[in-house]
């Protein structure tokens, strides 16, 4: 009886984990699958500024 309850608990925890992973995969907040927000925006002005600084430093 105790073994069956333990197996049930382990199964429920695993099912919850898999459900959570699937939910997070389809619940995209900023267009990024990871949800970290780092890839949601590209700052072209910052990139251009860094390129200009590197170009000025090499001259």
Name the percent of the chain lying above pLDDT 90: 37
- Which pair of tokens denotes residue 27? 């619940």
- Which pair of tokens denotes residue 22? 């699937």
In whole angstroms, give the CA distance from residue 39 to residue 51. 20
pLDDT digits (tens, 9 = 90+) for 23-41: 887 776 655 555 565 555 6
pLDDT at 57 over 90: no
- Which pair of tokens denotes residue 7? 């197996």
Domain count, the chain: 1
**Quick check: 40 and 31 in contact, CB under 8 A?**
yes
In whole angstroms, give the CA distance from residue 33 to residue 4. 37
Average pLDDT, the chain: 82
What is the pTM (predicted TM-score) of this model? 0.48
Query: Residue 10 belongs to what domain range?
Result: 2-58
pLDDT at 18 over 90: yes
Question: What pLDDT score was predicted for residue 5?
Answer: 96
- Which pair of tokens denotes residue 10? 């382990």
């Amino acid at each position: 009886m105790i073994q069956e309850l333990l197996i049930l608990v382990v199964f429920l925890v695993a099912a919850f984990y898999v459900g959570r992973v699937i939910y997070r995969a389809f619940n995209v907040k900023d267009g990024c699958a990871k949800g970290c927000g780092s890839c949601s925006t590209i700052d072209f002005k910052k990139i251009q500024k860094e390129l200009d600084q590197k170009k000025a430093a090499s001259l």
